[in-house]
Structure formats: structure tokens, C-alpha cells
Amino acid sequence: MPSTYNDLYLDARRALREAEAGNPQMEAQELLRFASGKSASDLLRDRPLYASDEVTRRFRALLNRRLRGEPVAYLIGEWSFYGVELDITPEVLVPRDDTEVLARQAIQRAGEAQGPVRVLDLCAGSGCVGLAVARNCENAQVLLGEVDEGALRVCRQNIRRNGLTGRVRACAVDALEKPPAALWDFDVIASNPPYIPTEEIDALDASVRLYEPRLALDGGADGLDFYRAITGRWIDSLRPGGWLICEVGVRQASPVEQLFAQAGLGDIQTYRDTAGIWRVVEGRKAL
């Protein structure tokens, strides 16, 4: 018997809830929207209608992949972050709500700078943080720095998708190495680097462990390799008075604060995410 769009939605929501998916309602809607090719508003309007056999087959195949752990963003190829629509592939991490704290602080500090502002999104992944800054700070020139070629391709797609080619560019940058001489004079360096301790990666949820790029997860034995490199090698790329802002993992705020202090940064502050975890550390280079 044919199913209505509402039947498909409700069945998927129930299955996702039983599988303890993070947001069953949103995930069911996004999968159905993608499978049907409808906009969110059209899908809401058409919920009482019967879905075609083709749409039903496509939707159920997507749902089965999701129930096996594959992230929704990879299944539909896009995601929204801080109001920015992004192309997403398995070559980059799926942007998370936690990282909006990093974007918020980068936007705030960029907005406080006088005149043209230079911002580096280091370990950019999809470019979500840097693009959020560019979207919200019209005087910002943003560089998306990434070492992985696949991620760089995604960055460039997202620059074009958001019509920001005039103010945002992407280039190959290795955060573990000393920056080239051309990368200097930034008002803000924002980074969400790999920070999962190597031995903890195999214990992560299957949706992360099996599908998201290990290169973007592995922060070394204690998860702090990238923070040591950034504070040890990238501070000279900040202007006097510029800000370094980093996302950190659980229980990493205190050691990262210490690394910031050892690098000579002042005004060190730490911010919680929506779950109450200390998630972002920032510090300012002396004037």
C-alpha cells in the first residue's frame, strides 16, 4: 500500500528515535526532503499526499544508511551552520552546534577591529567558521587554511556557493608547520583543530569513527599536538592586539589556557558550549 509523505516521516522519526539519533525529527525531515527533491515548505504542504514508489525506495535506502550510522550531512551532501549553507562531503567534518561558539567569538573579535579585518580559519575543514565570519563581518577578508586537498576543494565550493569569492579564499596550509612568510598580519586566527587523543578515536560513536575523516580528528597522544604547534609557531602571524581563538575538547580547556599563557597571550578567556562544556579558549597578543 502506498505511503503518504507524512507516513514516511513518522516511520522514520520513530526508527531514528529508537536508534537514539541526535535529532530524529530534523533528520527524518531532511532525509525526506532530499529524497523527494522538495523544499521544506513544499514538503510540509504535501505531507497528506502519497509519495511515488521511486521516492519511497530512495527515502528508505537513505534511512537504512542513516540507521547504520552514516551522518545525515553526508547522505544529503549539505548542512547549515550559523546561517551559512554548506556543501559537505566525507572529506570534511560535519559542522556541529558546539563550533558555533568558536564562530561567535571570531565574529565578535573581528567586528571589534578597526577598518579592514584579516581573519584566518586554520584547519578550516568545510570552511564553516571562516565563511560565517565573512557573512557577518562585511569588512573582513578571510583565508581558509587547510592541509587536505579534498577539504580544500570543499572550501572552494562553499566560497562559490555563498557568493564570497571577493572576500574569501582558500589555500594549502599545514597548522603543524611554521607558516610561510606570506601568512601574517591577521587580526583573528580561529581554529577548530583535530583534538581527539589517538587512543580514544576507536571508542567514538560509529557515526564519527566510521565515517568522518580521521585526519580531522586525531590530535596526537594527548589531543594537544595542534595547540602546541599553533601557539608555538603561529603567534607571529597575529597583529599586535590580534586574537587567537580555538575550539577544544572535553577537559582540554585548562592545558590549552596554559599553552596560550606560555606563548605570551593575555586576556585569556574560556567559553562554554550549550552543554555546559568549556569549549572555546581565546587569548590576545600584546599591543
Which sequence spans correspond to the domains of the chain?
5-68, 90-284
Grid look-up 591577521 returns: 186
User: At a CB cut-off of 8 Å and minimum separation 6, what does 155 contact?
Assistant: 124, 125, 126, 127, 144, 146, 170
Strand spans (E) along 213-277: 238-247, 266-272
Give the Å distances, CA to CA, from 100 to 5, 126, 161, 162.
32, 14, 20, 18
Strand spans (E) along the chain: 78-81, 84-87, 117-122, 140-146, 168-172, 186-191, 238-247, 266-272, 278-284
CA distance 235 to 52: 57
The pLDDT assigned to 23 comes to 92
The pLDDT assigned to 282 comes to 98
Mean pLDDT score, 15-36: 94
Mean pLDDT score, 38-56: 95
The pLDDT assigned to 21 comes to 86
The pLDDT assigned to 181 comes to 87
Mean pLDDT score, 170-186: 95
C-alpha cell of residue 15: 526508527
Q: At what angle do helices 24-36 and 53-67 cross, to 10 degrees?
A: 140
CA distance 48 to 17: 22
Q: Which residues is 189 bridged to in the sheet?
A: 120, 244
Q: Residue 246 pLDDT more than 80?
A: yes
> Where would I find the H helices in 20-89?
24-36, 40-46, 53-67, 72-76
Class for domain 90-284, per CATH? alpha beta
Residue 53 sits at the vertex; the CA angle it makes with 48 and 59, to the nearest 5 degrees, is: 80
The pLDDT assigned to 134 comes to 98
pTM assigned to the model: 0.94
Q: What are 91-149's pLDDT values in tens digits?
A: 999 999 999 999 999 999 999 988 899 999 999 999 999 999 999 999 999 999 999 99
Strand spans (E) along 114-210: 117-122, 140-146, 168-172, 186-191
Burial class (CB in 10 A: 0-12, 13-18, 19+), 134: buried
Q: Which tops the pLDDT comparison, 252 or 2?
A: 252
Identify the CA nearest to 100 among candidates 54, 138, 132: 132
Q: Are 140 and 110 in contact (CB under 8 A)?
A: yes
Identify the CA nearest to 233 among candidates 122, 155, 152: 122
Q: What are 55-102's pLDDT values in tens digits?
A: 999 999 999 999 999 999 999 999 999 999 999 999 999 999 999 999
User: At a CB cut-off of 8 Å and minimum separation 6, what does 28 contact?
Assistant: 9, 12, 13, 16, 63
Q: What are 204-238's pLDDT values in tens digits?
A: 998 999 999 999 999 999 999 999 999 999 999 99
Q: How confident is the model at residue 22 (pLDDT cuts 50, 70, 90)?
A: confident
The conformation of residue 180, written as its DSSP 8-state character, comes to P
Q: Percent of the chain scored above 90 by pLDDT?
A: 96
The pLDDT assigned to 248 comes to 98
CA distance 12 to 29: 9
Grid look-up 550531512 returns: 73
